[in-house]
Amino acid sequence: MFEDDPHDEGAAVVAAAGEALQALCQELNLDEGSAAEALDDFTAIRGNYSLEGEVIHWLACSLYVACRKSIIPTVGKGIMEGNCVSLTRILRSAKLSLIQFFSKMKKWMDMSNLPQEFRERIERLERNFEVSTIIFKKFEPIFLDIFQNPHEETPKLPRSRKQRRTPCTVKDLFNFCWTLFVYTKGNFRMIGDDLVNSYHLLLCCLDLIFANAIICPNRRDLLNPSFKGLPSDFHTADFRAPEEPPCIIAVLCELHDGLLVEAKGIKEHYFKPYISKLFDRKILKGECLLDLSSFTDNSKAVNKEYEEYVLTVGDFDERIFLGADAEEEIGTPRKFTGDTPLGKLTAQANVECNLQHHCEKKSFAPSTPLTGRRYLREKEAAITPVASATQSVSRLQSIVTGLKNAPSEQLVNIFESCMRNPMENIMKVVKEIGETFCQHYTQSTDEQPGSHIDFAVNRLKLAEILYYKILETVMVQETRRLHGVDMSVLLEQDIFHRSLMACCLEIVLFAYSSPRTFPWIIEVLNLQPFYFYKVIEVVIRSEEGLSRDMVKHLNSIEEQILESLAWNHSSALWEALQASANKVPTCEEVSQDKDDNPVIL
């Protein structure tokens, strides 16, 4: 028998792919242009690479890229990116989970040589997915702490459309609360991939729903009678709803790893004004959101608005966490484990394992580097990602408690003891860095959306306090070591202050799990990696309050600089080597205790 012609085999695969793509596009109601472009790209890639796995999954990747390139004119003579087909719909039709999509999409981008802008879009999408997955895992137990268990309530009986409306169930409330959260989060782009801010926004949504359950007549049956945030007289016969909606933000922060100051800031400056805007636009209505006459309309309106958002702005429909097939579509565990039949436990365990593996690869905590191990604290007990993030911020705030973002009296005395008082110049450098930081932090770019100025000012203030605290510690140590030698030489080095301030800003950004990861800070401050590297050990030795993860993070940056960043063609390292007549220090000189070495850049 003759072997099949490889050209015939390839043609058969392309033909089958064309049929599969046509069926997929018909299901999605896609335009012919996007379908043709997706098939052309798939054919070209398959001609150069071996595509393992199901063809339909690779077609989904190709189709997603084609859809993102599509531009649709709008009524107002504007244009809209995409063709009104969400990523969730594409993946659902192709039976491809989000975790599988990210894995295949990275390979597809490499094979297609897609531009950096598109790669950054996928990175943002993946981070948003990770944040949402973590937040949803926190949402379930907090909801069950405040409200009744949806799994334990009696199912709704089917009714005709002519029948009167029925009160919302706990499950309806669960879905409404999550949808309101993801819709609100989507409209604050600076919050979407920020774990700490997203978590506090979730607490605000839960606080709002709780307040409405309390003030709404005959809806207290939705509440968990053992919740610690209930009014003290809640279980008495003469309980009356308070005139002002109660606030349980403080209780939720205490019980569920929140930061009270941060959560209150989100509620007052972002959440409350936004909810008022939704009432003004008639998206939300009624004296009570859960009232019999308004809940159904409120739920439909919020879902409709969110659907429009997903089609025009977002890619990832986060309501799929609520679906019965969530574990297949995303990889997240089911909403209520009591629903899961025993026969599905093995499959679910595999999915949870995949999710765990995915999140571990993209962990918010850095891996332990080979250098700087001697500075690591003892390993802390295993905690959730949200608890880890909020504890990092809490640890940072405890370090700077009671301090001001200005030189202390002791530091001022050190400045005044110098032959030339450097205080004015130092404060000028810090101010310039602060202005540059705020400008870039609030500015939208292709890589990420800009944050609100309030967030920038808050982060900057923490960094300034930390900067002056560490500077004071360093100067006290140097004064003791050098026994009265004039400190002007060190304090007049602008590069030292710029590097130290940049390091403090990096610590703050890391504590908040900011998507602006290193080397973002040195890029916006136009600082050489070589100089940043030189202050890392100074900071770690001078500030004992840094958490284990913070120290690991700084050490990982140290390695990153040593491995690559310090060796680029414009690096200050080459000038330093030239100035030392190319005399590279020996291993013994580098490894010796640095306590006897001055802090000079």
Q: Is 238 helix (H, G, I), strand (E, B) or coil?
A: coil
Residue where a domain terminates, one of 290, 306, 322: 322
Segment 185-204 shows an average pLDDT of 84
Q: pLDDT per residue over 401-430, tens digit each?
A: 889 999 999 999 999 988 889 999 999 999
% of the chain residues with pLDDT over 70: 79
**Distance (Å) of CA 514 to CA 263, 364, 398, 441:** 16, 10, 19, 11
DSSP assignment string, 283-306: SS-SSSTT-TTTHHHHHHHHHHHH
pLDDT at 453 over 50: yes
Residues 6+ apart with CB under 8 A from 403: 465, 468, 469
Share of the chain above pLDDT 90, in %: 36
330 falls within a domain: no
**How many C-beta neighbours within 10 Å does residue 579 have?**
9
pLDDT of residue 485: 77
Judge whether 496 lies within some domain: yes
- Identify the helix (H) or strand (E) that includes residue 359: helix 345-361
Whether 256 shows a pLDDT value over 50: the answer reads yes
Whole-number Å distance between alpha carbons of 238 and 224: 19
Question: Which of 45-54, 169-178, 386-395 is the most confident on average?
Answer: 169-178
Query: Tell me, what's the pLDDT at 350?
Result: 46
Who wins on pLDDT, 553 or 384?
Answer: 553
pLDDT range class, residue 80, cuts 50, 70, 90: low
| 347 falls within a domain | no
* pLDDT value at residue 352: 46
Pairing, β 79-81 against β 71-73: antiparallel
Is residue 179 domain-shared with residue 305, that is, in the same domain? yes
In this prediction, residue 8 carries a pLDDT of: 56
Asked if 243 and 387 sit in the same domain, the reply is: no
Q: Is residue 134 part of a domain?
A: yes
Considering the domain architecture, whether residues 108 and 134 belong to the same structural domain is answered as: no
Distance in angstroms (rounded) separating the CA atoms of residues 373 and 550 = 12
Examine the pLDDT at 353 and tell me if it is beyond 60.
no
Rg (CA), the chain: 28
At residue 355, what are phi and psi to the nearest 5 degrees? Answer: -65, -45
Average pLDDT (357-365) is: 48
Local structure of 548: helix, strand or coil = helix
| pLDDT higher than 70, residue 158 | no
345 within domain boundaries: no
pLDDT at 384: 72
Among the ranges given (4-18, 191-205, 225-239, 312-326), the one the predictor scored with the smallest mean pLDDT: 4-18
In a domain, 355, yes or no: no
Pick the residue with more confidence: 434 or 234?
Answer: 434
Highest mean pLDDT among 367-381, 445-459, 550-564: 550-564
Residue 360 domain-assigned (yes or no): no
| 344: in domain | no
The pLDDT assigned to 132 comes to 87
Domain termination residue (choose one: 322, 351, 374): 322
Q: Measuring CA to CA, which residue among 242, 254, 252 is closest to residue 212?
A: 242
Pick from 517, 248, 266, 258: nearest CA to 384: 258
Are the beta carbons of 389 and 257 closer than 8 angstroms?
Answer: no
Of residues 171 and 78, more confidently modeled: 171
Model pLDDT, residue 349: 44
For residues 336 and 149, give the distance between their C-alpha atoms in angstroms, rounded to a whole number.
9
Same domain, 60 and 147: no
**Same structural domain, 97 and 229:** no
Residue 572 has pLDDT above 80, yes or no: no
Q: How does the average pLDDT of the chain come out, rounded?
A: 81
Whether residues 185 and 75 share a domain: the answer is no
Q: 548: Cβ–Cβ under 8 A, 6 or more apart, which residues?
A: 376, 377, 378, 379, 380
Q: Are 51 and 45 in contact (CB under 8 A)?
A: yes
Do 452 and 503 have their domain in common? yes
Q: By 3-state DSSP, what share of the chain in percent is helix, strand and coil, each rounded to 5?
A: 65, 0, 35
In degrees and rounded to multiples of 5, residue 31 shows phi and psi of -75, 155
The residue type found at 103 is S
CB of 83 closer than 8 Å to CB of 48 = no
pLDDT of residue 224: 92
- Rounded distance, CA 149 to CA 156, Å? 15
Task: Report how far residue 345's alpha carbon sits from residue 337's, in angstroms, rounded to the nearest whole number.
Answer: 10
Are 145 and 230 in contact by the 8 Å Cβ rule? The answer is no
Together in a domain, 244 and 297: yes
Judge if 103 and 62 occupy the same domain. Answer: yes
Co-location of 415 and 552 in the same domain:
yes
Give the range among 42-56, 70-84, 146-160 with minimum mean pLDDT: 70-84
Give the pLDDT mean for 352-377: 47
What pLDDT shows up at residue 155? 61
pLDDT band for 333, please (50, 70, 90 cuts): very low
Q: Are residues 312 and 400 in the same domain?
A: no
Please tell me the pTM assigned to this model: 0.76
Q: Is 398 in the same domain as 542? A: yes
Look up the CATH number of the domain holding residue 25: 1.10.472.10
106-138 pLDDT tens trace: 999 999 999 988 888 888 888 888 888 889 999
Reduced 3-state DSSP string for 386-422: HHHHHHHHHHHHHHHCCCCCCCCHHHHHHHHCCCCCC
Comparing C-alpha atoms, which of 214, 213, 205 is closest to residue 272?
205
Full residue range of the structural domain in which residue 582 is found: 383-596
Chosen domain end from 305, 322, 339 = 322
Supply φ then ψ for residue 503, to 5 degrees: -65, -40
State the pLDDT confidence band at 252, using cuts at 50, 70 and 90.
very high
Span 336-349, mean pLDDT? 40
What does the alpha-carbon distance between residue 129 and residue 101 come to, in Å, rounded to a whole number? 12
What number is the average pLDDT over the span 487-504?
Answer: 91
Residue 377 has pLDDT above 60, yes or no: no
Max CA pair span of the chain = 97
Question: What is the pLDDT at residue 154?
Answer: 63
Counting the structural domains of the chain, the total is 3
